[in-house]
């Protein structure tokens, strides 16, 4: 069984920054990719960013240039550096790990408010 745990959410003003962390633990041969998704109130969960075990990254257009995803393969950790945050970035952010099957974290709240 694989457990995925996020941390690092919080309250930030527009234009501010936050860094989210996610760890995957358990019996894992290879995590092919880890990624971040988010869900705002009343909306569907949407893709934010992902990174493969080879370091290939993909971003949603809405965050490209503001968010940076990085990964520590040895520790099965992934990070999301979020800069220049906007009101519309407010959401619960979920980490996802794919290793042939997939596991979701419980989510961490990010609130952008003045």
What confidence tens digit (pLDDT) does each residue in 19-47 have?
999 999 987 778 899 999 999 999 999 99
- Written as six digits, the tokens of 37 are 């998704």
Q: Tell me, what's the pLDDT at 30?
A: 87
Q: Which residues of 7-42 are buried (b: 16+ CB within 10 A; e: fewer)?
A: ebbeebeeeeebebbbbbeeeeeebebbbbbbeeee
- Written as six digits, the tokens of 72 are 């520590």
- Written as six digits, the tokens of 90 are 């407010």
**Which parts of the chain register pLDDT below 70?**
none
Q: Tell me, what's the pLDDT at 14?
A: 98
Q: Tell me, what's the pLDDT at 29?
A: 79
């Amino acid at each position: 069984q694989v457990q995925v745990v996020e941390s690092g959410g919080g309250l930030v003003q527009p234009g501010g920054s936050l860094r989210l962390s996610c760890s995957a633990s358990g019996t894992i041969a290879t995590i092919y990719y880890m990624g971040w998704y988010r869900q705002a109130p009343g909306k569907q969960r949407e893709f934010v960013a992902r990174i493969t075990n080879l370091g290939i990254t993909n971003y949603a257009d809405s965050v490209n240039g503001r968010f940076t995803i990085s990964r520590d393969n040895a520790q099965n950790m992934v990070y999301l550096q979020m800069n220049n945050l906007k009101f519309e970035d407010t959401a619960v952010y979920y980490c996802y790990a794919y290793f042939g099957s997939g596991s979701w974290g419980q989510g961490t709240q990010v609130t952008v408010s003045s």
